[in-house]
Chains A and B, each alone.
Chain A
């Protein structure tokens, strides 16, 4: 895996640097993919809270499968969909650790639905970052549980037909109905303002864990330009104009 080398020319003062919680490994995400922004935001939050030495991440199966390479934190690689169960085991074994999962829509909302719902319902004191890009990215652009109606994927070549394959699964709305979770929010990163809002949400989700408040999930509606076969700029527009119709932004549950 290649390494990022940053050299500061003489006379320059760096004002924007790599978070300490990130390793020097180069991200494996595609150009224009929102994962890179979200991964970085998680690292910035870990830095700001000063918790890198007690944080354990749980990596999913999907485009973020190499997450443990990117962070300078202890990490568990979970089986597809099982991150919330693995995180439960880590947190219960050692409650002093700060445990987070980072999962895509296939991982969290299809194969891992049960693990996610029940971890949320137990109010498991963990932080969940849920990247909803409406597609299976790593395997080649298949239909996800969150794929929009009419949206073309390699397994819905004519567009998702809701009569055959159902509707986009609104995981955050479902979880917000439960008594267990402390914080369920939906954010996006298609422009600077929303990046800042997402960071605030991630910060809150980690702070909740530090304060023992319980299950906190930040869904980030993201774009996968590679599999949508569009440019990064069109990807940002896609999120704003298409995805947010089904996945409106905002807090769905806040327990203080």
Chain B
């Protein structure tokens, strides 16, 4: 049965259905509906909702709940995510699973509350200090947002790596019919023998990212990077649309990916052979499939609500095999399909 839901609400409901037991937050626009939904629904369904005194506190509460072994989440928007970065680095270092939702707005600084994609670097390249990665999932519809939240909990638990949903204000606010995923019974969530549950009949468990010995710490990080390589092998997700005969492929994610799908349809109507490559995992980035495509597609036009951040990963993947122009908007301005189409026409059919 489909229900009409806002993106923010669908992500909240999906988290509860994924078995999220503890949700910690601090209010910020444009993800307010997610907070409100959790406040209304999570306690009634046996979970913990707690509004923290800051983003910093919220992410550290997530750290505590994750260490205690429950599925836990926080959500925020760009400036709030910056504040969470310390805690996210500690989560990554201590190998604690957690889900962080970033409903991006325009920055830097206070910016504004319009949709943007300026946090790509922060999400995929670190953001916090040190050698770590997050699993980063980028939904482009409300339906996909719900599904990726469920997936984020599963992947995060499986690899003990924090996962981020990188959405934007457009997706958070937009209402669409959703087929909500079936709830996961709590007993089906795999046990966590490493959790802090009390050292009864076993040696103590410690959640820590601290080791003063460089050689020992190097081994810990090497093991962590082995896990990252495994994620890169197993978990790359992307969508290709009309790429088979394409002379130009648009590369876009999230809301921009969705708009670019409309651009492809319009271009096709005009007889232009245009396709779309839409990364769903921003980390791991779908480099291999993009590289393969670059052996037969001459132009990849990256379109982002930023000055060009994913663009760097596109160029690193294509490795000079094709032209890689860029088109982006700044400050929360969302380009129309027509604007993008005229950009497309500069590169094909001429």
Contacts and interface: CB of A to CB of B under 8 A. Distances in A.
A76 interface: yes
B197 A94 contact: yes
Contacts of A74: 196-199, 204-206
Contact of B50 (A71, A92, A94): A92
B65 A89 contact: yes
Given A71-B204, A89-B60, A93-B64, A53 B210 contact: no
Interface stretch (B31-39, B67-75, B263-271): B67-75
A118 to B, nearest CB: 4
B224 to A, nearest CB: 16
A114 interface: yes
Given A75-B196, A86-B64, A92 B48 contact: yes
Interface stretch (B10-18, B51-59, B250-258): B51-59
Central interface residue in A53, A59, A78, A94, by most chain B CB within 10 Å? A94
Contact of A89 (B63, B90, B197): B63
B342 interface: no
B64 A88 contact: yes
Nearest to A98: B198
B158 to A, nearest CB: 20
Central interface residue in A58, A74, A79, by most chain B CB within 10 Å? A74
A89 B66 contact: yes
B248 interface: no
Interface residues of A, number: 34
B72 A89 contact: yes
Nearest to A23: B204
Given A65-B210, A86-B67, A56 B198 contact: yes
| Size bracket, chain B contacts | 35 or more
Main SS of chain B's interface residues?
A: mixed
Contact of B207 (A73, A75, A85, A114): A75
A82 interface: yes
B206 A68 contact: yes
Nearest to A51: B198
A143 interface: no
Nearest to A68: B206
Interface of B: 21-22, 24, 48, 50, 52-54, 56-58, 60-70, 72, 86-87, 90, 94, 196-201, 204-210
10 contacts: A58-B64, A75-B204, A79-B86, A85-B61, A88-B50, A90-B67, A90-B196, A91-B64, A94-B70, A97-B198
Given A86-B64, A92-B64, 17 more contacts: A53-B201, A56-B196, A74-B205, A77-B94, A78-B63, A79-B90, A82-B56, A82-B60, A87-B64, A88-B64, A89-B65, A89-B67, A92-B65, A93-B70, A94-B197, A97-B68, A115-B53
